[in-house]
Structure 1
Amino acid sequence: MADSTIITIISLGVTFLFMLGVPVFLIIAYWVVGTTFVLGQSLDNIGSALSDVFTDGFALLAMPLFILTGDLINKSGIAKRLSDFAYSCLGWLRGGLAMAAIGACGLFAAISGSNSATTATIGSMLHPEMVKGGYDERFSAATAAAGGTVGIIIPPSIIFIVYGYLMNLSISDLFIAGIVPGVLMVFAMQFVCWIICRINGWGHLIPLNINRILKTGFGAWLGFFAIGLVLWGIYTGKFSPTEAAAVTVGFCLIVGIICYPLNKMMKNDAETPVQDKTYADMLVVEGFKLTEVPSVVVRSAQITGILAPLIGVSVVMQQNLSLLGAQQIIGDFVTGMGGYYAVLLTSMAIVFVAGMVLESLPVTIILAPILAPIAASVGIDPVHFSVIFLVGASIGFVTPPYGLNLYVASGVTGVPYFRLLKYTLPYLVALLTTWFLVALIPQLALVLVPKI
């Protein structure tokens, strides 16, 4: 039997297993092991490749720290203050709490730089509140999953750093180019959220109160400071993104531990409504005990333990695809398309399909070195193409069968994976619409980038 036939049978087999509900990690691992045998490679290669990913992987060095940052921000009460601010601004609209969750994802993304951490934090914090507020639990979980897609677009973003490193582009330029598309993604999802909630009558309305907005904005000052600290440190070159994650972890630890006794002395009850608190009350977040830190670290380690193996086997999958000649086939196919728009749309289609089955890191490692030079050869600005590429990769977080954010949202909310898909589709439409706008209007990505 020909090798190609065997690989086709293996691919169909793992697809069937996925339909039966087998975890995606095992699906990819089965495919990798099967194709390794077909290619005549030693299984030792898989262990060696996984080891290299976790010991030498540039981007993955920051992942546990970014996830820990998200958990500390959540535990300390900083994330709640950011979400309170977003809700104060949007709560007068139908579906305001769900829209606030998406807005909070945008704010949180500017600290964590991680889609999974954004989804996990906002999902675990606001999903119960949304369910209490009358929202469908599936919609609430899908909202957290969709909102998390901006985690790798709004700077700082680890995947932008990886892309810039691979393609020798300015990291600062890539970060700046991601700001407007990231904001547009947030607004598009909020608009879709508003429509769905109006149709279903979900959400309790609160009056538009300027004092409440000012008070919650003042109360979120530590969150805004953390965002400013990360962006300032990276843009000025004071520390690398990995160091930025470590600095933010340290900041959140100090804030949480110091604010806990201060909060008790001020008798600032976290359950007290915002409108009943004074500005002095809002100055100090809830914080946490020093003895609670180990449990937070363990939770972060559990999430890392879910994500890291997925990324690891995806990278090994990329190596096997290279041995099968996939890179050469893709390069020849796209080059044969011809002009500007043909190459652009073909590249977008390839990134979208790849994002359905792979995590953004291996998608970038596999496809960016192939597609970016072809795009540049037909006149697409390299920075613009980087944003197109990575917005497409981020959409992959909510597209089955991989849909990493869907798995994270399912894990933190308890809503089964397949039950999220119905309410993910409208958000997918919003994200795809934004993606095409960014692709067809270069200035949306390049307007803030300094001209040389």
Structure 2
Amino acid sequence: MSALTLNRSGREWFSSLPACLLLLAVVLFSTSSDIHNQMLRLGEQFWSGYYKLRVDIAPPECNPSRDIDAAVAAELAKESDLGDMAALLGSVEKDPADVRRSIERSVADCQASHASYQQLRDQLTPTVKAYRAVELFVADVIALGLESQRYILIVVVMLCAVTATLTRHHIAMRPMETRLDYTVSLTLQTIANAMLLGSSVIFRQTTLASEAAVSAEEMMLHNLWITGFAALTLASLYRLFRVPADLADGGSLNKALLAVPLYTVMCLISGTYFGLIGHASGIGIYLGKMMELSDMFLNVGLYVWVGMMLKQTRLATLVFNVFRPWRLPPEMLAVVAVLVAAIPTAYTGASGIFVIAAGAVIYSELRAAGARRQLALAATAMSGSLGVVLRPCLLVVVIAYLNREVTTDELFGWGIWVFVLTAVMFTAVALAVNRQSRFELAPASEAWPATLAALRSLLPYVAVIVAVVLFYRWALDVRMDEFSAPRLLPVILLAILVFEHISLKGRSHRDAEGLEVNHQGLERSVRTATNDTTAEIGALLLLLGLSVSIGGVIERSHLMETFPQSFDSAWSAMLLMVVILVVLGMIMDAFGAVILVSATVATIAYGSGIHPIHFWMVTLVAFELGYLSPPVALNHLLTRQVVGEAEVTAAQQEGGTFYQRHERIIMPLIAMGLSLLLVAFVPLLFY
């Protein structure tokens, strides 16, 4: 067995398998809540008052056979004994009739309580007890899931981050190609990881030294962070001294610095800043804020897993087969791919997440359909940029939650028009400015039969998807929306993999490149998808976490307070907003940037007379332009991450004009840049 096989096998056992189990646990815990709700409803339908049967009921302590006459006499006698004192206090003498009525009501209530108790005891049949046991077990599973969600997130982040370090899979401006690249990158990674470890230890000691009581749960979170960063530091230190033999000699320091992962750069900047201001625990504190949005970050991991499972299916190939008979020019096919990708992007909530989840599929399908590398890379990087303004994008929901000036209905309503605008601009750039091939479609008489045949091949997949969605809708009363999508999509993809395992077992099919391949089966498909998922999750979530820390630097440095709190001219304010928002899009993830903008930039915009809905539409488009803009261009880095360095290098070596050589960068910039200018400044004409 080769060393590569051993390494892969060890990775599957110590990284991929635990990550797969943890992700399945997240889906199980979230689904168990829906199951429990339905169990409570069914219990109430079968046994009226089931909510009272969920717990053992103690018998009433009152006496239903109480002697009313004796009780009345005793009450009047007690009042007679207190006669002098009552007179002194000015009490009114009780009417014997009132005393009797009161005791009669008390006895009646007692008898009703005993009757209700007996009725519940009669209802508590063995069937009810068995059902109750299952329902309470599901309730315990839900409680366990809610309590363990933050623990799962830390374990997933650290486990996958260690995997990304050991496999050299972190997101950087360029890959490690020389020994100098490797040494500089791993040295700075080790320093940054040690800085994360030290900050977490100091944060723990500060928490213990505070006067506030520290819960066992909080201490467990501290210990998990410390353990994880210790493992990450050891992993980078191990890689530092295990230099791969395939690296070239030589190299330059400038290029080596570009091979440093982005999370490392963010950590060094924020750690140095917090250290200089005497707040060494700052990184640990801001990473701890991830726990407040643990469900969101776990959803990111689920979306990446879904994308990698999608890569193992034939679904994307079959969808592109619908358009292939028309012999669309590559530019038009790229437009179709970007427009179709807007819908799943709206569910994932951020373009970067979609690129890393499904970018490899889009790129391979565009290349298989004849698109040149530069165009395929441009479309892949931009595949998630159009859907962030569409319902039910979670990012828009977060904006409405943090800003009372806007509602989701208003934002999604105007988001449709922004989507139409960006789609038109991308189509215009692709077909007019960017077109390098002849526009000749296949005759309809020739294309339609093949298209219909391709659609028939999709019908079983549609049936599987509809079956899962309807099962959740009818059996669990769960609709497909931005809140349920993270737990529905993994189930849908697993169902598709099961369907392919059954329908393609022992058969071969053609992949995206048209090559004949044998179906690898369910277990191997899930295993391969999870292997690809672990490193991607580690690279992405660690980057998202450190961008929160960079947001803390911006917040604590009071950088935004150096700008005027309002402008007399909305045009001047908008110009400044556009610049700031694009820069934030370059250096921060979408969710962290929205939180920072809500607390700082938004108030300046409102005070300058910019309408809140207009401002947030500009913000979303500006963020997307930032993710596509050098020098960082995060969506391009994520594209390279999923398609491979070899494809990007091959694209850079292609000849042609300046535009053709840099089409993957220039084309998205033109499309989104023009869209941003129109969204930002045209509405000001109507103020």
TM-score scaled by length of structure 2 = 0.52
Aligned to 1:31: 269
Larger displacement relative to structure 2 (367-376 or 342-351): 367-376
Q: Which residue of 2 aligns with 1:97?
A: 333
1:356 to 552, 576, 586: 586
Distance 1:294 1:370, change over 3 A: same
Amino acid at match of 1:119: V
Counterpart of 1:327 in structure 2 is 560
The percentage of aligned residue pairs carrying the same residue is 19
The answer to whether residue 316 in structure 2 is matched with residue 79 in structure 1 is yes
Looking at structure 2, the residues matched to 173 and 238 of structure 1 have their Cα atoms a distance apart, in angstroms, of 22
Question: Paired residue for 1:210?
Answer: 448
Cα distance change on mapping 1:112 and 1:315 into 2, 3 Å:
closer
2:305 counterpart of 1:68: yes
| Residue 677 of structure 2 corresponds to residue 436 of structure 1 | yes
Please give the alpha-carbon distance, in whole angstroms, between the structure 1 residues aligned to 2:369 and 2:478: 44
Of 342-351 and 169-178, deviating more is: 169-178
User: Partners in 2 of 1:166 and 1:86 — Cα distance?
Assistant: 42
Unaligned runs of 5+ in 2: 1-191, 193-252, 653-660
Structure 1 unaligned blocks of 5 or more: 1-13, 275-285, 444-452
Alignment partner of 1:318 is 2:318: no
Tell me whether 49-58 or 422-431 shows the greater mean CA deviation.
49-58
Residue matched to 1:401: 631
| Number of aligned positions between the proteins | 409
Distance 1:272 1:425 in 2: 27
The match for 2:494 among 253, 256, 277 is 253
Cα drift, residue 307 of structure 1: 0.9
8 Å Cα contact 1:189-1:430 kept in structure 2: yes
The residue number in structure 1 matching 2:97 is: none
Q: Does 423-432 or 123-132 show the bigger shift?
A: 123-132
Who is 2:202 aligned against?
Answer: none
* CA pair 263-181 structure 1, distance change in 2 beyond 3 A: farther
Distance 1:203 1:37, change over 3 A: farther
1:108 aligns with 2:344: yes
The answer to whether the Cα contact below 8 Å between 2:347 and 2:394 also exists between their aligned partners in 1 is no
Q: Secondary structure at the match of 2:355?
A: helix
Q: Which amino acid aligns with 1:32?
A: S
1:401 and 1:18 map into 2 onto residues whose CA distance is: 16
1:127 touches 1:140 (CA, 8 Å); kept in 2?
yes
Structure 2 match to 1:384: 614
Change (3 A) 1:113 1:74: farther
Task: Supply the RMSD in Å over aligned alpha carbons.
Answer: 3.9
1:409-431: CA deviation from partner (whole Å, max 9, x where unpaired):
11122237795965211221111
The code of the aligned residue for 2:392 comes to P
- Choose between structure 1 and 2 for higher RCO, CA contacts under 8 A separated by at least 6 residues: 1
Matches of 2:453 and 2:367, distance apart in 1: 26
Q: Could you tell which deviates more after superposition, 339-348 or 169-178?
A: 169-178
User: What code does the residue aligned with 1:317 have?
Assistant: I
- Distance, in Å, in 1 between the alignment partners of 2:375 and 2:431 is 12
Structure 2: distance between partners of 1:428 and 1:314 = 23
Q: Call closer, same or farther: CA 1:213–1:318 in 2, change over 3 Å.
A: same
Could you give the per-residue CA deviations for residues 125-154 of structure 1, whole angstroms, max 9, x where no partner exists? 243454456544243223211222225333
Match of 2:213 in 1: none
Q: CA deviation at 1:197?
A: 5.2
CA distance in 1, matches of 2:512, 2:538: 36
Q: CA deviation at 1:393?
A: 0.8
Give 1:316 shift.
Answer: 0.8
Contact 2:316 2:365 survives alignment (8 Å):
no
1:210 partner letter: W
Inter-partner Cα distance in structure 1 for 2:439 and 2:288: 47
Contact 1:94 1:204 in 2 (8 A): no
CA distance in 2, matches of 1:190, 1:147: 13
Equivalent in the alignment of 2:381:
145
Counterpart contact for 2:429–2:667, Cα < 8 Å:
yes
CA distance in 1: counterparts of 2:673 and 2:554, whole angstroms: 27
Give the match's secondary structure for 1:269.
Answer: strand
Cα 1:202–1:364 change in 2 (3 A) is: farther
| Conserved 8 A contact 2:306-2:490 | yes
Aligned residue for 1:62, secondary structure, equals: helix
CA distance in 2 between counterparts of 1:272 and 1:321 reads: 45
How far the C-alpha of 1:310 sits from its partner, in A, is 1.0
2:631 counterpart SS class? coil
How far does the alpha carbon of each residue in 1:274-325 deviate from its partner, in whole angstroms, 9 at most, with x for none? 9xxxxxxxxxxx9961442233233223212111111111111111221111
Larger Rg, first or second structure (1 or 2): 2
1:381-405 CA-partner distances (Å, limit 9, x unpaired): 3233222211111222111233221
1:41-440 aligned at under 5 Å gives the runs: 41-42=279-280, 44-54=281-291, 56-57=293-294, 59-85=296-322, 91-93=327-329, 95-131=331-367, 135-168=371-404, 169-195=406-432, 198-199=435-436, 201=437, 206-208=442-444, 209-217=447-455, 219-220=457-458, 222=461, 238=479, 241-264=482-505, 269-270=509-510, 289-330=522-563, 332=564, 335=566, 337-415=567-645, 419=652, 422-440=663-681
In structure 2, C-alpha distance between the alignment counterparts of 1:71 and 1:327, rounded to whole Å: 39
Q: What is aligned with 1:9? A: none
Paired residues of 2:342 and 2:386 also in contact (CA < 8 A): yes
